């Protein structure tokens, strides 16, 4: 047997051993029977973990259980030995304090190649009161309805007057772009499987942040904004148009997202990251979109032609949204969800503060004022009428 033959045999043995090692990997898969558990303080629940055996493991594997945040639930026992022919085992969990935690299974290094515990985890939500949980859900549905119907008072106002004078076109443009990007983000994370897979690969024990009501709300918002923009082409609009500054903003957003999409199509950027970029642009738009309408009201010294109903409903929704955050934080002892996420809380508070500005403009600063341009028109009409009367008197 020559050197070449020995080399071929050695290479064959390496390949076969590698294949055998791969086939022996993850002989046992452990999954928790449930992965979402909600408990009240001092209440407990037994969770069963199911063992799926592809082949018997050569030695017992020790499985340990640890919580991401201690003090929320107690675990008994904290470790289990998985042996041959064992089909399942049960762990007793007792809620000791309100909060959120994730209990994960880990394997001793000696058994890590034979046991797969990626799906052996439970997310616990421990609350002080079930009544507060129901109350927060009711609040959630109320502000969802308030925000959903907040678009229609302005649509009704435009239809009744057959005019859109007094409504900022910049606000409309920013609104529909923002909600379109928000819809794209929601649809991608809720309906497109590869994007969901990418999200869960980054957050193995996480939950999808987008729910069906988020998708419905954002798509409905785009629809309502489109109706309002269509009215701008149908009804009287005077000399109103989209400002040059707003056009520059639109161009900048388009260039930024176009470059991001091209990089995503080239495979350099993940599609999930592109959707995150869309959500960041939506946050930026939320910060600036109210400014044009507030400035238009200030310049006209009037809110005539602009519906306060939209703001009252938006204020109701924003106030209840922030209120719900505080109710949940108290009930689940999770104040980090309010103050630990300053972006989300800050945007909600910012919107409510702007709503207060609009309310003051409508009911205090410019209450009962006719718009400046219409007052000028009325003065001109009176002057023409007076001149005509004087002329007729002279002829007489």
Same domain, 118 and 143: no
Say if residue 18's pLDDT is above 50. no
Q: Is residue 396 part of a domain?
A: no
Q: Is residue 66 part of a domain?
A: yes
**Residue 301 and residue 371 in contact, taking contact as beta carbons nearer than 8 Å:** yes
Beta strands in 85-184, from DSSP E residues, in sequence order: 88-95, 99-107, 115-119, 121-127
Q: Which residues contact 362 (CB under 8 A, 6 or more apart)?
A: 303, 308, 311
Same domain, 270 and 339: yes
Structure confidence by residue, pLDDT tens digits, 99-121 = 889 999 988 765 555 788 888 99
CA 219 to chain centre: 13
How far apart are alpha carbons 28 and 264 in whole angstroms? 37
Structure confidence by residue, pLDDT tens digits, 63-109 = 899 998 888 999 999 998 887 778 889 999 999 998 889 999 988 76
Q: Is residue 49 part of a domain?
A: yes
Same domain, 271 and 153: yes
Residue 364 DSSP symbol: I
Q: Give me the residue label for tokens 């109210």.
A: 290
Same domain, 180 and 309: yes
CATH number of the domain encompassing residue 86: 2.60.40.3450
Structure confidence by residue, pLDDT tens digits, 112-168 = 557 888 889 999 989 999 999 899 889 989 988 999 999 999 999 999 999 999 999
Same domain, 137 and 256: yes
Same domain, 261 and 137: yes
pLDDT at 290 (0 to 100) = 92
Q: Give me the residue label for tokens 């304090």.
A: 97
Q: What angle do CA 313, 283, 285 make, to 5 degrees?
A: 75
Range of the domain at 47: 26-127
Same domain, 230 and 94: no
Q: What angle, 0 to 180 degrees and rounded to 10, lies between the N-to-C axes of helices 130-149 and 308-332?
A: 160
Q: Is residue 21 part of a domain?
A: no
Q: Which residues contact 361 (CB under 8 A, 6 or more apart)?
A: 294, 297, 298, 303
Q: What angle, 0 to 180 degrees and rounded to 10, lies between the N-to-C axes of helices 212-234 and 130-149?
A: 20
**Residue 254 and residue 173 in contact, taking contact as beta carbons nearer than 8 Å:** no
User: Domain boundary residue among 97, 127, 157?
Assistant: 127
How far apart are alpha carbons 322 and 344 in whole angstroms? 10
**Residue 112 and residue 59 in contact, taking contact as beta carbons nearer than 8 Å:** no
pLDDT tier at 396, thresholds 50, 70, 90: very low
Structure confidence by residue, pLDDT tens digits, 239-260 = 889 999 999 999 999 999 999 9
Same domain, 141 and 160: yes
Number of domains within the chain = 2
Same domain, 233 and 369: yes
Same domain, 43 and 182: no
pLDDT tier at 297, thresholds 50, 70, 90: very high
How far apart are alpha carbons 250 and 174 in whole angstroms? 8
Same domain, 139 and 282: yes
pLDDT at 219 (0 to 100) = 94
Distances in whole angstroms, Cα of residue 229 to Cα of each of 17, 110, 168, 169, 250: 68, 65, 11, 8, 16
Per DSSP bridges, beta strands 121-127 and 36-40 are: parallel
Q: Which residues contact 150 (CB under 8 A, 6 or more apart)?
A: 309, 310, 313, 314, 317
How far apart are alpha carbons 227 and 61 in whole angstroms? 63
User: Domain boundary residue among 99, 127, 155?
Assistant: 127
Per DSSP bridges, beta strands 44-53 and 73-76 are: unpaired
Q: Is residue 263 part of a domain?
A: yes
Distances in whole angstroms, Cα of residue 123 to Cα of each of 101, 137, 367: 6, 20, 52
Selected residue with higher pLDDT from 12 and 291: 291
Q: Is residue 323 part of a domain?
A: yes
Q: Is residue 70 part of a domain?
A: yes
pLDDT tier at 381, thresholds 50, 70, 90: very low
Q: Is residue 31 part of a domain?
A: yes
User: Domain boundary residue among 98, 127, 156?
Assistant: 127
Beta-carbon neighbour count of residue 130 at 10 Å?
11
Q: Give me the residue label for tokens 């987008």.
A: 210
Same domain, 143 and 111: no
How far apart are alpha carbons 332 and 128 in whole angstroms? 7
Say if residue 8's pLDDT is above 50. no
């Amino acid at each position: 047997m020559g050197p070449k033959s020995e080399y071929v045999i050695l290479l064959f043995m390496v390949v076969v051993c590698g294949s055998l090692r791969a086939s022996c990997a993850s002989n046992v898969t452990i999954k928790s029977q449930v992965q979402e558990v909600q408990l009240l303080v001092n209440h407990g629940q037994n969770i069963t973990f199911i063992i799926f055996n592809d082949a018997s493991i050569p030695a017992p594997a020790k499985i340990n259980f640890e919580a991401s945040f201690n003090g929320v639930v107690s675990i008994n026992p904290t470790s289990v030995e998985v042996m041959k022919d064992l089909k399942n085992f049960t762990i007793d969990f007792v809620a000791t304090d309100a909060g959120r935690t994730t209990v994960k299974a880990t394997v001793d290094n000696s058994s890590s190649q034979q046991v797969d515990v990626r799906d052996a985890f439970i997310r616990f939500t421990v609350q002080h009161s079930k009544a507060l949980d129901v109350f927060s859900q009711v609040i959630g549905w109320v502000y969802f309805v308030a925000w959903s119907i907040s678009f229609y008072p302005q649509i009704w106002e435009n239809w009744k007057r057959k005019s859109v004078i007094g409504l900022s076109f910049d606000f409309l443009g920013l609104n529909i772009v923002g909600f379109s990007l928000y819809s794209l983000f929601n649809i991608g994370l809720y309906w497109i499987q590869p994007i969901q897979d990418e999200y869960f690969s980054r957050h193995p024990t996480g939950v999808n942040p987008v729910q069906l009501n988020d998708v419905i709300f954002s798509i409905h918002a785009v629809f309502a904004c489109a109706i309002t923009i269509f009215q701008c082409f149908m009804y009287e609009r005077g000399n109103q148009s989209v400002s040059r500054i707003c056009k520059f903003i639109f161009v900048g957003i388009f260039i930024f997202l176009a470059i991001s999409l091209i990089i995503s199509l080239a495979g350099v950027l993940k599609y999930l990251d592109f959707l995150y970029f869309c959500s960041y642009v939506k946050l930026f738009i939320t910060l600036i979109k109210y400014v044009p309408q507030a400035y238009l009201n200030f310049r006209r010294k009037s809110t005539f032609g602009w519906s306060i109903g939209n703001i009252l409903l938006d204020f109701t929704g924003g106030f209840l949204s922030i209120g719900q955050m505080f109710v949940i934080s108290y009930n689940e002892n999770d104040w980090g969800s309010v103050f630990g996420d300053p972006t989300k809380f800050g945007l909600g508070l910012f919107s409510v503060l702007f709503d207060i500005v609009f309310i003051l403009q409508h009911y205090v600063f410019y209450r009962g004022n006719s718009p400046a341009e219409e007052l000028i028109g009325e003065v001109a009409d009176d002057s023409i009428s007076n001149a005509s009367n004087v002329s007729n008197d002279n002829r007489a």
